[in-house]
Structure 1
Amino acid sequence: MGSLRGLRLVAGSCFRLWERDVFSSLKLTRSSDLKRINGFCTKSQESPKAPSRIYTHGVPLHKPTKWEKKILIWSGRFKKEDDIPETISFEMLDAAKNKVRVKVSYIMIALTVAGCILMIIEGKKAAQRHETLTSLNLAKKARLREEAAMNAKTE
């Protein structure tokens, strides 16, 4: 633990020496509103910016786009577009997006299961008609051999 403290002290003194020897042009570009506290630079709090918009209850509001309005309706948050207020909170929009994401994933799961069941049914029907991959491949190879034999006779 002592060696880490020593390394920190050495690094701090090297930084101070380097900072002292910096070119004068670089010193002029340094921001004047930085002040040193415990060897770290922080911005001074002399002139904080006024908030650009005053929010009720400290919650930032967002004007939803048409797409976001559809998401709010699909999520079941509102019944129709006229019910949606002019501005909504980001938390409400995120909750609606998450709900729609979950619904879409459930739909994709259901479609995947339905597709698997459909492929099983089609595969069993093809097997009853003797349309297996092996039989189709053997038929294709036999046809290619016949074509090769016909080409060999004509040449």
Structure 2
Amino acid sequence: MAGLVAAGKVVKFLDKNAFSALRMAKGKHWLINRRLCIKAEDSKAQKPSSPSPAPPFRVPGHKPSDWDKKFLLWTGRFKKVEDIPETVSFEMVDAARNKMRVKISYLMIALTIVGCIIMVIMGKRAVARHESLTTQNMERKARWREEAARAQAKP
């Protein structure tokens, strides 16, 4: 029991005097600290307020590019290019892009597997023909030696 009391005092001391993970776990007051976000009143007076170029209210919508339109078609959101409205929500375009990323990644996985199978088949055929890198290297080096011997014999 005395150990728990001593541990509690140590935790309280650390909580008051030092920033610790225990302070973050204890409450959410560390999230509300806004000292760095508040601007001083005199700094506002020094800077003239500039009018914002965009209006405060904007109609939600995104004008899709040609690629976005293709993605919307390929993912099945719309049947024809003419069906796509002038502006669509950004979430719809983002969902179509993500769906295309997934489809492309599946395609690349399939192509990788097909490529591996083709390489295995080609390797087995090469083994049946008694071809290997070792034999190819030995033949090449023998050919080089013959060419070098011919070159020395000529002059």
TM-score, normalized by the shorter chain, greater than 0.5 = yes
Measured against aligned partners, the alpha-carbon deviations of 1:100-133 in whole angstroms (never above 9, x if no partner) come to 0000000000001100100110111111111211
TM-score where L is the length of structure 2:
0.65
Q: Which one-letter code corresponds to 1:96 in the other structure?
A: A
Match of 2:55 in 1: 51
| C-alpha spacing 1:3/1:69, structure 2 compared with 1 (3 Å) | closer
Counterpart Cα distance in 2 of 1:144 and 1:54: 75
Q: SS at 1:114's partner residue?
A: helix
Match of 1:151 in 2: 151
Unaligned segments of structure 2, at least 5 residues = 1-15, 20-38
Q: CA deviation at 1:149?
A: 1.2
Q: CA deviation at 1:139?
A: 0.5
Aligned-residue RMSD, C-alpha: 3.2
Q: Which one-letter code corresponds to 1:68 in the other structure?
A: D
Match of 1:64 in 2: 64
Q: SS at 2:40's partner residue?
A: strand
Counterpart Cα distance in 2 of 1:53 and 1:93: 21
Q: How many pairs align?
A: 119
| C-alpha spacing 1:48/1:145, structure 2 compared with 1 (3 Å) | closer
Q: Which has the higher strand share?
A: 1
Q: Does 1:135 align with 2:135?
A: yes
Match of 2:126 in 1: 126
Counterpart Cα distance in 2 of 1:68 and 1:104: 15
Aligned residues with identical type, % of pairs: 55
Q: CA deviation at 1:42?
A: 6.3
TM-score where L is the length of structure 1:
0.65
Q: CA deviation at 1:36?
A: 2.2
- Structure 1 moving runs of 4+ over 3 Å: 1-4, 41-44, 46-50
Counterpart Cα distance in 1 of 2:105 and 2:143: 46
Q: CA deviation at 1:54?
A: 4.0
Counterpart Cα distance in 1 of 2:98 and 2:63: 18
| C-alpha spacing 1:52/1:145, structure 2 compared with 1 (3 Å) | same
Q: Which one-letter code corresponds to 2:55 in the other structure?
A: P
Unaligned segments of structure 1, at least 5 residues = 5-34
Match of 1:86 in 2: 86
| C-alpha spacing 1:153/1:48, structure 2 compared with 1 (3 Å) | closer
